[in-house]
Structure 1
Amino acid sequence: MKKPLFFLTVLFSLIVQARAQQTPGKFTIEINYLLALPEGYAAGTAKKWPLVLFLHGSGESGNDLEKVKVHALPKLLEEGKKFPFIVVSPQSSGFGWDAEQLYRLLLDIKKKYRVDDDRVYLTGLSMGGFGTWSLAARHPETFAAIAPICGGGNPEEAWKMRYLPVWCFHGAKDNVVPITASQRMITALKPFRSEVKFTVYPEAGHDSWTETYNNDSLYTWLLSHSRHQFKPVTLSEKQLSSREGLYVSGKDTVVITAQNGGLMAKHGPHTTPLKAAAPDIFYWAEKLPMDVEFTKEGFVLRRDVEERFRKIK
């Protein structure tokens, strides 16, 4: 039996009304921060400046930016110290730091101010030390060097920071964050080609930041670094041809051939040119920590994840 016209009309009206109830909206996350521009910033419009992102500890969290000024760089700035770089000191509204929110904050700062992309540095204390390790592991391509203080991270992610200079600090008598939290990260980094420094204050407790930030050698060390960039080297035909072959990892296969003074990696329909940075290290993006490291058994492919390939012929 056919449905009455009145029933169909009402049904159509209900459907239209239901659809009309959907309206666009937007959720915005706000991050409050302190900003300090160096002397001379306003004098020109072309010069780009280094930037240091500072992450505070848990005691300074909340919605009052004055709390951020009680330690480290914000405190020194409040006392009149002048730095030759931009200082950005965000405030966490809760416990912990969200790496992706901090990354989006950095992108916004770069749009608004003249930031030298190759000289962006990251440091933090306690909760901010944990935040430093976390953000650096998530976006190692962003920073030129990092200085985590009395924090810790995930040692399994240390390989992502293999090209990132690290100067870590901790108090030997820290009873809030044990020194082993930093030691694990340093131990995990050392097998890689990393510049790693670890300063332990024998008599310091949790406050290992006051002495650290009062020492200008930290800032000299930070500013001595620029963002990692692979430097191409020339290898002999014999060195290149020794890398040729078929490599497998699970169901993935990669064919490596020597061409034009480098290597070509064929993976399915995709072919990627690889340049040499060392006899056993090849890369395909100068400023991104993505590389192929050859071993006796095959090679390790490091991008977002680490994947090992075995040479079968």
Structure 2
Amino acid sequence: MHRILRLLAAGLCLSWGLAPIPLHAALVSKGFRKHSVQETGFLNRWIEVGKANYRYQVYLPEEWRRDDHKLWPVILFLHGRGERGAEGMWQTQIGLPQAIRDHPERWPFIVVMPQCAIDRYWTDHDMLAMAMSTLDQETEEFHGDPNRTYLSGLSLGGYGAWELARQYPKRWAAMAIAAGGIFWSYAPERWQQASTLPAEYAQAIGHTPMWLFHGAEDNVVAPRQDELLYSALKTAGGRVRLWVYQGLKHDCWTRAYGEAELPRWLLQHRRETQEPGPFAERVSIPLHPPSLKLTPAQLDGFAGEYVDKRGLVVVTLFRQGDLLYQKNHYGEIAELAAESPSVLFYPNGSSLTRIAVERDAQGRPVALVLRDDRHEERWERIRSPLRSHSQPE
């Protein structure tokens, strides 16, 4: 009996020894190294305030580390009316979160993104309290720097940001607000205080730097709101910038958060070293640059087919009268204008897109380089059409 048991034990040991090696063990044996778990990017979070639970998001830069105890700058971002809800994620679709996705290298911040309830407004006391609670929770857990804590919001979130600026003026190193104000669309009676209310906010905010953005044709939040607030802050000796985008309506935030200078400007300010002197700047920014008038011969010089690196025709340029046009490979036609003899833009398209013209030693265009805020493409010219004055068939 004992002999049989010993034989069974030996057989089991042998079978275990011949068992397939687990995949993870095989990978390790081949030199693969297991990556340590790292919490970065957009993270789902929740918080309990009073008797209610709220879902929200926090963004951690890829370089963030839990174990190095480095202090990171923090932005509290308040979204607009259309992103209210309870799922905790809609607020990551536009504005600052979108800018972070486009250019994460520009935004070395912890970004706290609470979500306003669907039937509430950011100016409600409990919503503001919830927003501040999320900021406190994430600042503590993820090593936020109290001296580099910033406030930002757009549209409805701009309303809320102004309230937090007024209630906690010493909390912020700087603030950036797009398409916001203090005369709430759902409380039109506040306009009756237009002669006094801006000064009250300016007095409360003091010297904390503010950068305001507004579309000149905004028909949702009137640009007059920011004009009044700018004047009040300037009169009170505050530090304020107002950029008004010509040709833009309510959505000025895509352009505003896409300004490469904005994150750098925020980081220039620390709560402990505020500059006391007054500063006021108002800038009107055109949607497109003035166009340069080119001769028919210059326009004909651009005419031709341009191909990508695979040899596929991407665009064809042609002249009609005194205008230059582009036809893409889908058959869509768009007008082109000249910012300079070697830089083209779309007068009816994106304000950020530019087409640089490469020339040969004789000054003839040989390639086009399209650049926008996110990428670059180069198209080589292969031939000129026989009739540049007419649209290609």
Partner of 1:101: 130
Per the alignment, residue 110 of structure 1 pairs with: 139
Matches within 5 A, 1:108-187: 108-153=137-182, 154-155=197-198, 156-187=200-231
Q: How many equivalent residue pairs?
A: 208
2:57 paired residue number:
34
Contact in 2 for aligned 1:56/1:68 (Cα 8 Å): yes
| Alpha-carbon distance between aligned partners in 1 of 2:67 and 2:85, rounded to the nearest angstrom | 36
3-state SS, counterpart of residue 222 of structure 1:
helix
Distance verdict in 2 for CA 1:84–1:119, change over 3 Å: same
Unmatched runs of 5 consecutive residues or more in structure 1: 1-25, 232-276, 279-313
> Closer, same or farther in 2 for the Cα pair 1:29/1:168, shift >3 Å?
same
* CA deviation string 1:27-49 (max 9, x = no partner): 43333221111122117422100
SS in 1 for 2:213: strand
Deviation at 1:163, TM superposition (A): 1.7
C-alpha displacement at 1:222, in angstroms?
0.7
Q: Residues 53 and 88 of structure 1 are in contact (CA less than 8 Å); yes or no, is this contact kept in structure 2?
A: yes
- The DSSP-based 3-state class of the residue aligned with 1:141 is coil
Cα distance, 1:192 vs structure 2? 2.3
Q: Does 1:47 align with 2:76?
A: no
C-alpha separation in 1, matches of 2:229 and 2:101: 32
Q: Distance in 1 between matches of 2:254 and 2:100?
A: 14
Aligned equivalents of 1:80, 1:64: Cα separation in 2: 25
Deviation at 1:80, TM superposition (A): 6.5
Q: 1:219 aligns with which of 263, 281, 284?
A: 263
Structure 1 residues 214 and 80: alpha-carbon distance in aligned structure 2, compared to 1, 3 A threshold: closer
The TM-score, its normalising length taken from structure 1, stands at 0.62
Which residue of structure 1 aligns with residue 37 of structure 2?
none
Which residue identity is paired with 1:126? S
| CA distance in 2 between partners of 1:52 and 1:34 (Å) | 12
Is 1:197 matched up with 2:241?
Answer: yes
Cα RMSD after superposing both structures: 2.2
Unaligned runs of 5+ residues in structure 2 are 1-48, 183-196, 278-393
Higher relative contact order at CA 8 Å, sep ≥6: structure 1 or structure 2? 1
How far apart are residue 184 of structure 1 and its match?
A: 1.7
- Matching residue of 1:70: 93
In structure 2, distance between residues paired with 1:228 and 1:137: 19
Tell me by how many angstroms 1:112 deviates: 1.4
Instruction: Specify the SS of the correspondent of 2:54.
Output: coil
CA distance in 2, matches of 1:57, 1:191: 29
Equivalent residues of 2:88, 2:115 under 8 A apart:
yes
- Counterpart residue type for residue 109 of structure 1: E
CA offset at residue 230 of structure 1? Answer: 7.1
